[in-house]
Amino acid sequence: MKNSIRKILIANRGEIALRIIRTLKEMKIISVAVYSEADRTSPHVLAADEAYLLGPAPSRQSYLVMDKIISVALSCGADAIHPGYGFLSENSVFAELCVKNNLIFIGPSAQAISAMGSKLAAKEAVSKYNIPMVPGSDGAISTIEEARKVTQSTGFPVLIKASAGGGGKGMRIVWKEDELEEQLKRASSEAASSFGDGSVFIEKYITSPRHIEIQVMGDHHGNVIYLFERECSIQRRYQKVIEEAPSCIITPEIRKKMGEAAVLSAKSCGYTNAGTVEFIMDEQHNFYFLEMNTRLQVEHPVTECITGLDLVREQIRIAEGHPLSVKQEDLTIHGHAIELRVCAEDPANNFLPSTGVLNRYKRPAGPGIRVDDGIEEGSEVSIYYDAMIAKLIVHASDRTQAIERMLRAISEYEITGVATTLPFGEYVLKHEAFVSGNFDTHFIQKHYQQEHLKKTVPSEIVELAAALSGHLYHKKEQAAEPIQETGEELSAWRNRRWE
């Protein structure tokens, strides 16, 4: 049965909220924004047709308060809720709460989220389809004896992983036997602290891995398709920084096998809507199931670029009960796309978070360039939310041109007030390992040296220096004797604090 969605509440903030709003405008669907006190004047709030305050800046008091979000949705007459990514997007309780309140959750079912929310449960669900798995434990490891038994068959090194989490938390590499017990305790303790679940499992550690993921879409009519792959191997602290589509190492034969494996993974839990099946690939290009993300991905724009599809539009159509707008045989890859996550972090100082006011914010432009952001010049980058402030996406006819276009876009992107990952992106895209395609998830450990980043002078300093130089020149021309530095002319320069 089809449901006509008239109004959607977006249970998120920043760039993803604004990105969803743009599609809603095209579809003539009323958009409802929610916001914290810190986001009162954010672009997503101003762009929405309606906007409602949730609470104070901390997300646990605003964007994570399920009952408040449901209450706002009901009071404003929304038909559906789009969770974006992060926050409540993979929370099965929230998805179920939406359904109980007759609100359409634009995502998979609560059951599918639960099934894929645990890495162990996900592995069990897909195992019946003979999808390749990294050798390791079949279930959670609770004792050192069980751990030693697994390592006898896998050998070292091994990777201890939290079942419930991600982002590198609850994850430990163990290189030899005498480290096993201590690392097992540490991983379990960190998993319990971070996710409320101390369950961990063990896998053989692949020493030179590539991180490849497959975008899938499923409707309520039994159709599931794959929208090709994304290469996500440029990471810091197990978090992606640069993504591209397609991967430069995937052959058509491997692409088909991975895509079909991803479709089977989705079907194993009756998956509907947008999702991503993640694989790890070894040096021999053997791939293994890693996990499934039950939401729209941060890096979905590169898939949109190479397929020509609006994935948010597809999500909404699926939620309304429509079949997928395309069939597998209709899909082809058009060109090459690269995305750089522009994060407020200092790549010259171990990627430490950087906060402050954006004194200058000028986006790049031109053919094949897209910027997904939720900020403007004068916006404050606070401590309360994720460090990613924008996504810079380029699309070109091939990978070489895409790299050239990204470098040009980075050179045009002007941000002052906070440190960003733009210089790191330039470093990577110029590096021989990336250009040749001969890289893995250890790119930073193998190739990155932060002292090599160029220290660029902010444009505002250059402009002020030029103005000051001109001022002093004219003073000198007018005066009979050299200017004496009394402090009057140079006080602003000397006293100014540069961001």
Question: Which DSSP string do the residues of 120-140 spell out, in sequence order?
Answer: HHHHHHHHTTT--B-SB-SS-
Contact between 187 and 161 (Cβ < 8 Å):
yes
Sign for the pseudo-dihedral over CA of 369, 370, 373, 379: positive
Distance separating alpha carbons of residues 230 and 240, to the nearest angstrom: 11
Tokens at 209, concatenated: 């891995």
Q: How far is CA 425 from the centre of its chain?
A: 15
Starting at the earlier edge strand, list the strands of the sheet with 172-174: 172-174, 158-162, 200-204
SS3 per residue for 316-376: HHHHHCCCCCCCHHHCCCCCEEEEEEEECEEHHHCCEECCEECCEEECCCCCCEEEEECCC
Tell which residue, 277, 203, 235, has the closest CA to residue 441. 235
295 is catalytic: yes
Tokens 């068959």 locate to 153
Of 440, 422, 419, 420, nearest to 430 by C-alpha is 422
Dihedral (CA of 310, 313, 319, 325) sign = negative
- Distance between CA atoms of residues 467 and 489, nearest Å: 12
**Residue 260, CA distances (Å) to 229, 252, 371, 472, 473 in order:** 12, 12, 32, 70, 70
Across 288-297, b (16+ Cβ under 10 Å) vs e yields: bbbbbbbbbb
Sign of the Cα pseudo-torsion (74, 77, 80, 82, in order): negative
> Of residues 210, 236, 295, 341, which has the active-site annotation?
295
Active site residues: 295
